[in-house]
Structure 1
Amino acid sequence: MSEQSSTDPKTAGDPEARGLRLVIVLLGLTVVSGLIDAVSYLGLEHVFTANMTGNVVVLGFAAAGAPGFSVAHTLTSLGSFVVGAAAGGRGAVRLGGGSRRTWVRLTLAAEAVLLGISAVVAFAAPGATATAYTLIAVTAFAMGLRNATVRKLGVPDLTTTVLTMTLTGLAADSRAGGGHGTRSPRRTASVIAMVAGATLGAWLVLHHGLGIPLAISAGLVAVLAVAASGRE
């Protein structure tokens, strides 16, 4: 994708070039992932709804009878994520051949609505068993929807939910690892974004419950949906 500025006459009239670049949008979504996993892991019996790698490990812990983990919660998260990813795949097939900007904005709008619903549920019935399952299912579905979209977009080093390969690339491609470190700023920003989201999310969960971090997540995704362009 072009790295030309929005003032370049070649891109000034292009709707795809208007708004925030996808790199910035995906970094914002990485912050949201940290918030969401703080809510789910700290507030919903140690389950992840954004990071499915961690969830598979958690499922093993729960199946072995480790205290503080729930097989039912983890399976709910995994199942909802997979359904969301399937929905995201269908959306990519339907919308991916048209405007990239429109496709991204519609997907993020759907995520914002789902997270907003989760926030309303968390405020309306805190602590209820049905609330826990609803929050797990809805947020995991939203993350699956987003992950399928991000995968199809294929922006390097910005998956928004997992950092294992990002950290591997950061180290392996660094000058210390014999590389040139050309993507280090993007990879470093991704790690910082996740840590920032997780830190903020954990503080909010511990001091204010689940509703506020979910509401903040919904609001941030809504802003990104409105502002996103179609270029990297």
Structure 2
Amino acid sequence: MSPPSPSASASPPPPSAAASDLPDSDPLVLALFGLTVVSGVVDAVSYLGLGHVFAANMTGNVVVVGFALAGAPGFSVLGSVVSLAAFLLGAALAGRLCPGRLRTALVVEVVLHLAAAGTVFAAGTAGDVQYTVIGLLALAMGIRNATVRSLGVPDLTTTVLTMTLTGLAADAAAPGPRSPRLRRRLLSALTMLAGVVPGAVLVLHGQAAWALVAAAALTAAALAVHRGA
């Protein structure tokens, strides 16, 4: 019999309950809600403070690249490409090294948020420095997104809301019993908004670095909630 492959031995143990059956009060679900807030903060910083680039929402970056290639002013091909590349690298690293290990991913995310905040405190966001900050944030988001994806908790990707909002509207209008996940979908949208608004306020008042410190603190809080399970 051939020995198990490294990828098989690196797989996390199966969860004690199916991800689709987790209630909204479960520590993992609460941690994912918290991470959705963080995504709002991060994208507020990256879009408003780093040249109209998304660090968490990669669909937005593909659109931004299209705008830039079409000649629309105020959009950066390089910034979006840096974000996409760093995000994909983070996702690949997570898939290779720590699939399903949310705690490990969140520790790395806290470190990367603090590194981005330290860079902004030390050098601001002008010139080429912004690409370093974009890369750090997108790397963190790629690691986290791949890890969350492997957990398979419905309607809680923590970074993208399109399908969540589609399900919210479609199920709310459908005849018959109400979907048990309507509340989760609504909370996903509200938690994203809860991160975007204060993140945007901080950036607009010249406090992007403190917004990133807040993102690190919120990620650490999500880690604490998950570890307490």
Q: Distance in 2 between matches of 1:165 and 1:178?
A: 20
**CA deviation digits over 1:110-161, x for unaligned, max 9?**
0000001000001111133232011100100000000000000000000000
What letter corresponds to residue 178 of structure 1 in structure 2? P
Q: Flag structure 1 segments of 5+ consecutive residues without an equivalent.
A: 6-18, 97-102
- Find 1:157's aligned residue among 155, 158, 170: 155
Counterpart for residue 15 of structure 1:
none
- Find 2:118's aligned residue among 100, 117, 120: 120
What letter corresponds to residue 195 of structure 1 in structure 2? L
- Find 2:143's aligned residue among 126, 142, 145: 145
Counterpart for residue 70 of structure 1:
76
Q: Distance in 1 between matches of 2:141 and 2:35?
A: 10
The list of structure 1 runs, each at least 4 consecutive aligned residues, that deviate by more than 6 angstroms after superposition, is 2-5
- Find 1:130's aligned residue among 128, 131, 139: 128
Q: Distance in 2 between matches of 1:92 and 1:207?
A: 37
Q: Distance in 2 between matches of 1:130 and 1:226?
A: 35
Q: SS in structure 2 opposite 1:79? A: helix
Q: Distance in 2 between matches of 1:50 and 1:29?
A: 11
Counterpart for residue 14 of structure 2:
none
Q: Distance in 1 between matches of 2:146 and 2:228?
A: 16
Conserved? CA contact 2:98–2:104, under 8 Å? no
Conserved? CA contact 2:103–2:226, under 8 Å? yes
Distance change (3 Å), C-alpha of 1:113 and 1:207: same
What letter corresponds to residue 197 of structure 2 in structure 1? T
Distance change (3 Å), C-alpha of 1:125 and 1:183: same
Counterpart for residue 48 of structure 2:
42
Conserved? CA contact 1:106–1:225, under 8 Å? no
Q: Distance in 2 between matches of 1:209 and 1:60?
A: 29
Counterpart for residue 174 of structure 2:
177
**CA deviation digits over 1:78-132, x for unaligned, max 9?**
1110001001111334xx4xxxxxx221110100000010000011111332320
TM-score by length of 1: 0.85
Q: Flag structure 2 segments of 5+ consecutive residues without an equivalent.
A: 1-16
In the TM superposition, residue 20 of structure 1 has moved relative to its aligned partner by 6.4
Counterpart for residue 12 of structure 1:
none
Q: Distance in 2 between matches of 1:192 and 1:178?
A: 25
**CA deviation digits over 1:38-70, x for unaligned, max 9?**
000001110101000111101100111100000
Which structure's relative contact order is higher, taking Cα pairs within 8 Å and 6+ residues apart?
A: 1
TM-score by length of 2: 0.86
In the TM superposition, residue 4 of structure 1 has moved relative to its aligned partner by 9.4
**1:105 and 2:103 aligned:** yes
Q: SS in structure 1 opposite 2:205? A: helix
